Chain A
């Protein structure tokens, strides 16, 4: 079974800084099956990135996704106050799996 490992667990940054979030899979996965979601407290997850690098509708261009094989990255180029949240990567195989999440908190 594929395992998704996100790192770091928590990222403490200031507004305006760059955030780099990692998602590693235990087996190679197709980029078509890799997505990223943002979740704020008390809210449902929101789709950010699909197909490893395509932004969902309405997502600002400061969010970008990259990677292939077993290593994928979500980058937020300049953090805005509304970007502090938990981010999940997700692999859509026969049994869809989520990573454990990375919390981006205000430093």
Chain B
């Protein structure tokens, strides 16, 4: 059974940093691209970042570019999101999701989410 378990969500002050983790099990983690998607309270879904299976390629939404870093440790089956210079508008539930690519593209499995609150 595929499981994605996020952790690291917390209350942080504006300008602060936080690192989210996503522990994966039940599939060959290194064979899949992985992504972070967030959802602000009462709002829709917003894609944040994606990383290739080997970790060599990363992409970010413009809203987080230069502030967030995505990485993975395939030996630990774990995905990370390092968030720096956090802003109030980064407050959201952050989901990790596995990504199916080629020939069709979609977010396959999702974690239960980690809440990040940016507030003083």
Contact = CB atoms under 8 A, between A and B. Distances in A.
A47 B44 contact: no
B27 interface: no
Q: Is the interface of B mostly helix, strand, loop or mixed?
A: strand
Interface of A: 32-33, 35, 37, 39, 43-47, 50-51, 54, 56, 88, 90, 92, 94-101
Given A33-B105, A47-B108, A90-B106, A98 B113 contact: no
B44 A90 contact: no
Contacts of A95: 47, 59, 61-62
Contacts, number: 61
B107 to A, nearest CB: 7
Given A37-B107, A51-B104, A96-B107, 13 more contacts: A32-B105, A33-B104, A45-B45, A47-B108, A90-B106, A94-B59, A95-B47, A95-B62, A96-B47, A96-B50, A97-B47, A98-B45, A98-B46
Interface string B40-64: 0000111100100000000101100
Interface size class of B (residues with CB under 8 A): 20 to 34
A9 to B, nearest CB: 11
| 6 A-B pairs closest in CB distance | A92-B105, A35-B106, A44-B110, A50-B106, A96-B47, A51-B104
Interface of B: 35, 37, 44-47, 50, 59, 61-62, 95, 100, 103-113
A93 to B, nearest CB: 9
Contact of A32 (B35, B104, B108): B104
Contact of B106 (A43, A44, A47, A99): A47
B110 A45 contact: yes
B111 A35 contact: no
Contacts of A54: 104
A90 B107 contact: yes
Contacts of B50: 96
